[in-house]
Structure 1
Amino acid sequence: MATETHSPGFGRVESFVRRLGPTWLAGAIAAGPATMVSLLVAGASFGYALLWVVVLSAILGTVGQYLAMRLGLLTEAGIVAVVEEHLGSFWAWVLVIDVVLAAGLAQLVIMKTLADVSATIGGGAGLGVAALADPRLWGITWALVLALGLAGGGYRLAEVGAKVLVSLVVLAFVASAFVVPIDPAAAAAGLAPEMPAGVGGAVVAAGVLGGAVHITLLTMQSYTMRARGWTEGDRGIATFDVVSSMLVAFGIFSLAVFLVAASVLPEAGVGAGTIDEIRAAQALGPVAGEHATWLFLLGLWGAAVSTLGGNTIVPPYLLADKLGWEQSVDDSRYRIALVAVALASAFGAFLEGAFFQLLVLVLAFGLVGTPFALAIILSLLNDPDVVGETNSTLENLGGLVLFAVATVLAGEFVLEELETVTEPLSAFVVAFAAAMVLAVVGLAATAARDRLRARSSDDGTV
């Protein structure tokens, strides 16, 4: 009887590929509806002018996940527990609150997106059922599905189906990139770092970068590493996991969506003031034809479903780590927190405004809280009491560049919000930014004080 044989080299590669995963989960969340919409808005509003941000987002997103991966591998613990042990309970709570605010706002807006798109699809199905066109009822329905599915472990099937739809849309954008008439000269000019003139440029730029460099992605990395059981000995596959998912897969996704949007939408008369889900679907017209609208809506729907599941577990996960709960539905406290976040997301369907603009804003808001998380990661990775192998000069340089770029773009966004600071949302963004600046300064002062004490102690024992 014939038997199937593989070379030893093939077996190693097959095993290597099968073990990939933690950063691919982060990449899947990064390639969610907020990032897709931010890229579409960037291309429609400013043409190729923000191409430099798109390229930077893939590169710096990779750097951020690599540093978070190193911390997870070297400590073999969740980031909140590590912060509590080495920096203190106060800074652990600041990190938890930072993440909960960023993830919570994202939860509401993603639910609004899912509810609105579900209503558009339901209303367009022509079944004559008025409730199918009501986003509020869809929001309540999806919140219940989310709560029951996650608490009972049955939401994974919905996520798998949703990811298939997202994959189809991503493939359609990649195919469109080979069909649409991309202007090479204009695209090359877009690689020069420059903020587009006009209102909204800073928000959109912060949104694009925030899709890849987000506090949620950075903090969840240590937990996904633990779920896989990866340790320092898995550094090779962990590094490949980061590069293949963020730099390659997410980079291709971002470039394809942006270049197609920048090439097609301005020519079709779609701009910052007119873009919505129906007009944005014109970007897929070159390959999908008359089916472009339905394909785009289903892809956006799938992205919202899959991202919502991953985002829901973030606040309960960090809260459980801080309070010493088991991070599993076997722990009733964790299950209650999970259900509470899922049900609270229903309020997102009652938010006013177009979800296209809100999705960009939510990523920009998340970017404001990201420098604090980066400061914590860099501080821990340079403390020999925390990790056995501190950062190299190159790793620190990459981290500092990431911190600087994230801070500058977040600052540009906050300065733009200052112009409308009398509005409640803008006032909240400015207040949050001020709190994060104080947190970064306080963390730096705490770290410097601890290093001086340690040095004085060492000198005293000589």
Structure 2
Amino acid sequence: MGPAWLAGAIAAGPATISALVAAGVGYGYDLLWVVVLSAPAGFVSLLLAAQLATRTEHGIVRVVERRLGSRWAWLLVVDTVVVCGVAQLLIMKGLADVSASLFGLDARVWGVFWAAVLAVGLAGGGYRVAELGAKAIVSAVVLVFVATLVVAPPDLGAAASGLVPTTPPGAAVTAAGVLGGAVHVTLITMHTYTVRARGWTADDEGLARFDAGASMLVAFGTYSLAIFLVVAGTLGGGDVAPQAAAAAQALAPTVGPAAETLFLVGILGAAVSTLGGNTVVAPFLVADALKWEPAVSDGRYRTLLAATALVSAAGAFVGGNFLPLLVQALALGLAGTPFALALVMVLSYDVPGDRPGPLLSAAGTAVLAVTTVTAGNAVRQTALGFRDGVDPVPALVVAFAVVLGLATLALLGRFVRELVADADTTRQPVD
């Protein structure tokens, strides 16, 4: 096992914790159905990405360029770089703020420190360092939050009502954040490269399925469900702000003054593992688009990777509370996800070997539909906020989503036309 654990490290990060805390605090158990859906949806998206990588033996940018052209490839690169860049800065802000709270010193000092650690570790060790770190930290973080669930058990009867799919008023962005933690353009695109970095081919598809199941279905699914049930059961429906100190109240009855410290340690572990994975994503795609080897053996890629890590120090200088900001970052990422997912599905019908089976095709189509609707609701809620004036950042989010939405429609339209043309050719009589 290996590649899917790096995806799981990004998924099981402080942004997902933020979304789960916001969902549990703001809406009680009402969004449990989104939490339960997120892990299987992430599992399906990783399966599709792994199948594309093992059968083509290339990363997604190279495959898109050869099949659809360079414009589509660069649009995917821009999509991923924007989403990864925003996430990188905000996760670094969270890591720096948490480090300052736990150990003292200014958060900006911690931002520079962690950026240097990332640069040295990843540029020196590359993919294998990131994978090993992800396995260790994700396993530890999952155990911590499962233990938390034992400390603060939920009301299972009340939780069952949250399995009915409903979206309370004002919850669209939060729901998008929860789903975006598992089904994300970062995870989909990165997985095509980490599978290749592991050296897996079409003969390893069974191992790739097991890898994704262990990481996304079991580890991430347990992690997200435990966090949500604890927060919804202890803080749901109350007048509590979705902040780290407030969320830590779930532990207070048992551990008293140590509650906030323990919660922040969990955030710290999640942030470190997520940054390690997130840092490699944009360099993977940019290097592939520029025809560089996406490995530390290529000096150009190594320099790009180190520069990406160092630039992330700027996140420590961003103002505001990092938990709500991270939810917004996940919602932005979900807006860019349907395009990447549609690309993987379209390309999977044009690669060597068998096409995806009916079950995987149906599951992929369902995930694409759910992510599109959820992202659309979040964008719509953001746009409705313009009644009180247009803010630059939300306006950019809406514009970003509209451009990628139109691109997704154009891509799917092209795919349908090609299917119809192929069917007509097949039906023509042969002389």
TM-score bracket relative to the smaller structure: over 0.9
The 1:225/1:461 distance shift into structure 2, 3 A limit, reads farther
In the alignment, structure 1 residue 354 sits paired with structure 2 residue 292: no
2:30 to 49, 52, 59: 49
CA–CA separation in structure 1 for the residues paired with 2:410 and 2:402 = 12
Alignment correspondent of 2:362: 397
Deviation per residue, 1:112-137 (Å, 9 max, x gap): 111111111123xxxxxxxx0x2222
Q: How far has the Cα of 1:347 moved from its partner?
A: 1.6
1:42-441 map, 5 Å: 42-123=23-104, 132=105, 134-153=106-125, 167-197=139-169, 199=170, 201-266=171-236, 269=238, 271=240, 274-285=241-252, 288-383=255-350, 386-421=351-386, 422-441=390-409
For structure 2, the 5+ residue unaligned runs are: none
Q: How far has the Cα of 1:349 moved from its partner?
A: 1.3
Alignment correspondent of 1:6: none
Q: How far has the Cα of 1:161 moved from its partner?
A: 7.3
Deviation per residue, 1:163-201 (Å, 9 max, x gap): 75664443232123234342222211100000012x3x1
Q: How far has the Cα of 1:311 moved from its partner?
A: 0.7
Contact preservation (8 Å) 2:98, 2:268: yes
The one-letter amino acid paired with 1:183 is D
TM-score, normalised to structure 1, is 0.87
Greater mean deviation of Cα atoms: 149-158 or 185-194: 149-158
Q: Provide the secondary structure at the position in 2 that maps to 1:185.
A: helix
Q: How far has the Cα of 1:72 moved from its partner?
A: 1.5
Contact preservation (8 Å) 1:66, 1:239: yes
Q: How far has the Cα of 1:149 moved from its partner?
A: 2.8
Aligned positions, number: 427
Alignment correspondent of 1:30: 11
For structure 1, the 5+ residue unaligned runs are: 1-19, 124-131
Contact preservation (8 Å) 1:166, 1:303: yes
Contact preservation (8 Å) 2:6, 2:134: no
Q: How far has the Cα of 1:387 moved from its partner?
A: 2.9
Q: What's the RMSD between the two structures over aligned residues?
A: 2.3
The 1:78/1:260 distance shift into structure 2, 3 A limit, reads same
Deviation per residue, 1:79-130 (Å, 9 max, x gap): 111111111111111111111111111001001111111111123xxxxxxx
Identity %: 55
Instruction: Flag the structure with larger Rg.
Output: 1
Greater mean deviation of Cα atoms: 91-100 or 443-452: 443-452
Q: How far has the Cα of 1:156 moved from its partner?
A: 7.9
CA–CA separation in structure 2 for the residues paired with 1:135 and 1:298 = 16
Q: How far has the Cα of 1:306 moved from its partner?
A: 1.6
The 1:374/1:294 distance shift into structure 2, 3 A limit, reads same
Q: How far has the Cα of 1:222 moved from its partner?
A: 1.5
Q: How far has the Cα of 1:147 moved from its partner?
A: 2.1
Contact preservation (8 Å) 2:31, 2:175: yes
Q: How far has the Cα of 1:151 moved from its partner?
A: 2.1
Alignment correspondent of 1:39: 20
Q: How far has the Cα of 1:160 moved from its partner?
A: 6.5
Alignment correspondent of 1:127: none
The one-letter amino acid paired with 2:77 is V
The 1:207/1:42 distance shift into structure 2, 3 A limit, reads same
The 1:161/1:97 distance shift into structure 2, 3 A limit, reads closer
The 1:160/1:325 distance shift into structure 2, 3 A limit, reads closer
TM-score, normalised to structure 2, is 0.92
Q: Provide the secondary structure at the position in 2 that maps to 1:212.
A: coil
The one-letter amino acid paired with 1:148 is V
The 1:456/1:163 distance shift into structure 2, 3 A limit, reads closer
Alignment correspondent of 1:10: none
Q: How far has the Cα of 1:328 moved from its partner?
A: 2.0
Q: Provide the secondary structure at the position in 1 that maps to 2:142.
A: helix
In the alignment, structure 1 residue 445 sits paired with structure 2 residue 413: yes
